[in-house]
Structure 1
Amino acid sequence: MAITIGVDIGGSHISSAAVNTNDFVIISETYFSGAIDNKASKEVIIKKWAEIINKTIKAVQEKSEYAETDKIGIAFSMPGPFQYESGIAMFEGNDKYESLYNVSVSEELSKYLNVANITFRFLNDASCFGVGGSLLENAASSSKIIAITLGTGFGAAFLDNKLPITQGNNVPHNGCLWDKPFKDNIADSYFSTRWFLNEYEKSTGEKLTDGVKEIAAIENFSTAKIFDEFAENLSGFLSPFIIDFEADLLIIGGNIAKSHRLFLSKLQENFKSKNINTTISIVENTEQISILGSSYLYDEIFWEQIKTELPYF
């Protein structure tokens, strides 16, 4: 029997779960998560990752007829910069996990996992979210999908029949949007938590620290104006990419997506005014969807299609 475990690595967390690869759903009682100090030492970070993954391993062993000879495939939804083919972290100058620079995650992690028969596969976190979103029932009829995550940063993936597309005339370089120019800066400066905090402080003179959720809970004229401007910016930025890619579905996840009641209708209205009728799907359980997407790396047909073109960024 082969066991597949999906792992989502965030800027300050790790989540892990076993996935039934027959229908790509998370196996109950195998989901675990924990906070991570991304400025800790290599050993502290790797041990914490292993601690959470070991909980999933133990849970799935208890729930199935597990034998020591069974193979366990661990698939990572991993932020960049990262060498996804070799599994070597390249975090440098990005203020997170820098102690893992030039470290082989699979080699180091193997030292602390409670099983021996393991393989590892890695994919960019935004791509995993997109792949996971494409596996959802409401995405079944969509072939060309743009998936974005809105949170501490701005992630994006372009998918054609579930395959992440990173090069070509109709997609931006590396399939990324965070670094593309927008107004007087780059997109990441407008479609992340810090934009909301800065705008709220500019509007009210009050400094908030708890993120978009705190702003969304206030619900006054200032916050409504901020969310309307966000919808205006997002529709204006995304429209050319949606048109060029001919996307029939836009999937939105990340913490900001949880406040969609304050911007979704305006976003849809703005798209329609540009004659864009792309369906929008909001995903609130972003980590679980990323886990599902990473586990799809152990679909061997998908893996054969993607393994020789894994991105390095």
Structure 2
Amino acid sequence: MTGAGLPLPRNPAPTPVLEIGGTHVTAALVMARPHLSTSWRVVSGSITRRSLHAGSSADDLLDALAAAANSLGRDHARLWGIALPGPFDYATGMGMYRDVGKFDQLRGVNVGSELAARFDHPHDGMAFLNDADAFGIGAFALSRGDAARGMAERAVCITLGTGIGSTFLQGGLPVKAGHLVPLGGNCYNLSFQGRPLEDTASRRAIRWAYAEATGSLGTEPPDVHAIAQLSRKGDTVASRVLERAFAAVGTATGPYLRKFGAQELMVGGSMAGSWDIVEPALRSGITSAVPALRRLLITNAEHFEEASLAGAAIWVNRIT
């Protein structure tokens, strides 16, 4: 590391990374550019994306992850950065999923060992990290460039997608413990109106709420992006469901944004694509919980996929 901030790589070869979500896996090579204002970049043409079905068998999921990894060939560093959602034991590579709507089949599976057996090229190990941490680390680095190293700035990143991811950053690196952050730095551990926050603001919760409000439970509800489109077309039920969900995120996270001393809230994930709907409701929830944060800088983090890939690479180089 350089000072107290983000590291530069010791190996000049590109870093191989996997970014795993509930519906996809992306493999890419990430290269450092230490003499330019933006120090990290995804190598052009290296990205491979594959669809995942979260309900597939463990073998099918692992085969798909390994196929994406193997597509990168051998011309790269041999330590992998792998970003994926929790609950997961990132130190041991063991899946801990249960009743979270994705990857339950990987509970008790040593993902690191199983992937290693499927790789068709030599490697020196895998460094796992939470996908929201990867996004936050990368978004911070890409938005600040080389100046991010050594900074003590406090920023919070939230991802809105299948679930709610988060990371609390000081100097561009995650803070995972202490009374200033939620348990593990994870906003999915927060509650809203006496229930887990994800019972209101996750993809499944929003779809269920819309189906219930329209009297269509038992049928396949539209996905969140389609509900957002309905809202823009004047569907008041869709508007009400989305506003409640995103305001709930603000209400639940506001007290920790204040305690942590956040100077910026960066938002990413698939739902952030509906920024015209997300931002006003999110700000309303934060302000209602903590009026002093009414002027908090809230930004839609650009280049979501690139940020997650860069964050995984930065993490690998931090620990090597």
The alignment's TM-score, normalised by the length of structure 1, stands at 0.83
Q: How far is 1:90 from its partner?
A: 2.8
1:137-152, aligned counterparts within 5 Å? Answer: 137=143, 140=148, 143-152=153-162
Pick aligned residue for 1:87 from 93, 96, 104: 93
- What corresponds to 2:223 in structure 1? 211
Secondary structure at the aligned position of 1:155 is classed as strand
Taking structure 1 as reference, are residues 279 and 122 closer, same or farther at Cα in structure 2, changes over 3 Å only? same
Matched, 1:51 2:67: yes
Measured in 2, the distance between the counterparts of 1:202 and 1:109 equals 41
Gaps of 5+ in 1: 305-313
Q: How far is 1:38 from its partner?
A: 3.0
Measured in 2, the distance between the counterparts of 1:15 and 1:159 equals 24
1:1-313, aligned counterparts within 5 Å? Answer: 1-22=12-33, 23-55=39-71, 57-58=72-73, 66=75, 71-137=77-143, 140=148, 143-206=153-216, 209-218=221-230, 219=232, 220=234, 221-268=236-283, 271=286, 274-276=291-293, 277-283=295-301, 285-299=303-317, 302-303=318-319
Deviates more, 1:289-298 or 1:24-33: 289-298
Measured in 1, the distance between the counterparts of 2:209 and 2:99 equals 26
Measured in 2, the distance between the counterparts of 1:26 and 1:161 equals 22
Residues 264 and 296, structure 2, Cα contact 8 Å, conserved in 1: yes
Measured in 1, the distance between the counterparts of 2:85 and 2:261 equals 26
Taking structure 1 as reference, are residues 92 and 265 closer, same or farther at Cα in structure 2, changes over 3 Å only? closer
Residues 142 and 248, structure 1, Cα contact 8 Å, conserved in 2: no
Residues 247 and 286, structure 2, Cα contact 8 Å, conserved in 1: no
1:39 is aligned with what amino acid? Answer: G
Taking structure 1 as reference, are residues 267 and 11 closer, same or farther at Cα in structure 2, changes over 3 Å only? closer
- What corresponds to 1:307 in structure 2? none
Q: How far is 1:234 from its partner?
A: 2.8
1:14 is aligned with what amino acid? Answer: V
The two structures, once aligned, show a CA RMSD in angstroms of 2.5
Residue-pair matches, total? 292
Taking structure 1 as reference, are residues 52 and 279 closer, same or farther at Cα in structure 2, changes over 3 Å only? same
- Residues 27-47 of structure 1, C-alpha deviations (whole Å, 9 max, x = no match): 111111111233333332222
Deviates more, 1:97-106 or 1:121-130: 97-106
Taking structure 1 as reference, are residues 81 and 269 closer, same or farther at Cα in structure 2, changes over 3 Å only? closer
- Residues 280-302 of structure 1, C-alpha deviations (whole Å, 9 max, x = no match): 12135433322111111232xx3
1:294 is aligned with what amino acid? Answer: A
Residues 46 and 108, structure 1, Cα contact 8 Å, conserved in 2: yes
Measured in 2, the distance between the counterparts of 1:202 and 1:37 equals 25
Taking structure 1 as reference, are residues 224 and 169 closer, same or farther at Cα in structure 2, changes over 3 Å only? same
Q: How far is 1:91 from its partner?
A: 3.0
Measured in 2, the distance between the counterparts of 1:47 and 1:84 equals 20
Measured in 2, the distance between the counterparts of 1:280 and 1:217 equals 23
Q: How far is 1:232 from its partner?
A: 3.2
Gaps of 5+ in 2: 1-11, 34-38
The alignment's TM-score, normalised by the length of structure 2, stands at 0.82
